[in-house]
């Protein structure tokens, strides 16, 4: 009897884990981002996050950025509409500045990038965020859909300096 119960438990766990693998969605943490622009617009920071759809299904994704202000005990959603921009080579996007998020689709095997930069003088904002995706095709539910990486770039036009630092997302692994 114990053997039957153990076999049943193992079979049930295999079925449960295999259905989770084919969920057709994923989420990853963006550990940092920053935007800055001085009054003369000669010095600024911008953040780019590159996203590649590694599946044969269209991926619908949402990027949400949270600012550094955590005085309420919850992260404050970054919500300045002049600072959220997206260049998406494979489709369109919707910008929602009231929620600090951008939503768009990426076609199979396409790459695009999301860019955050400051449209306001004397602004300096930084924080963290999340990338969430779901497969648009109900019949094709990939276990892994995206790989992402980013960088924040500093530019000083006055003395022609620039540098960037890497933003590692999900350890560089697909999610």
Look at residue 48 in the predicted model and tell me its pLDDT.
Answer: 86
pTM greater than 0.75 (yes/no): no
50-95: pLDDT as tens digits: 999 999 999 998 888 887 765 555 555 554 444 444 555 444 454 5
Q: Closest by alpha carbon to 25, among 125, 131, 116? A: 131
User: Can you tell me the distance from the alpha carbon of 150 to that of 30, in angstroms, rounded to the nearest whole number?
Assistant: 9
* Residue 47 banded pLDDT, cuts 50, 70, 90: confident
User: Would you say residue 146 has pLDDT above 90?
Assistant: yes
Q: Is 36 helix (H, G, I), strand (E, B) or coil?
A: strand
User: Would you say residue 173 has pLDDT above 90?
Assistant: yes
User: Would you say residue 27 has pLDDT above 80?
Assistant: yes
CATH of domain 23-172: 2.60.40
């Amino acid at each position: 009897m114990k053997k039957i119960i153990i076999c049943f438990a193992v079979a049930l766990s295999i079925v449960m884990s295999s259905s989770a693998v084919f969920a057709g969605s994923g989420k990853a943490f963006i550990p940092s981002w920053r935007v800055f622009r001085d009054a003369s617009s000669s010095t600024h920071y911008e953040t780019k996050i590159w996203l590649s759809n590694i599946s044969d299904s269209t991926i619908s994704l949402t990027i949400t950025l949270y600012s550094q202000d955590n005085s309420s005990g919850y992260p404050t959603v970054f919500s300045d509409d002049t600072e959220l921009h997206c260049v998406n080579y494979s489709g369109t996007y919707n910008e929602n500045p009231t929620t600090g998020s951008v939503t768009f689709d990426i076609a199979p095997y396409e790459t695009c990038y999301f860019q955050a930069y400051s449209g306001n003088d004397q602004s300096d904002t930084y924080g963290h965020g999340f990338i969430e995706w779901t497969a648009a095709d109900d019949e094709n539910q990939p276990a892994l859909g995206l790989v992402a990486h980013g960088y924040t770039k500093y530019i000083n036009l006055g003395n022609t300096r620039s540098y960037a630092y890497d933003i590692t997302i999900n350890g560089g692994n697909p999610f």
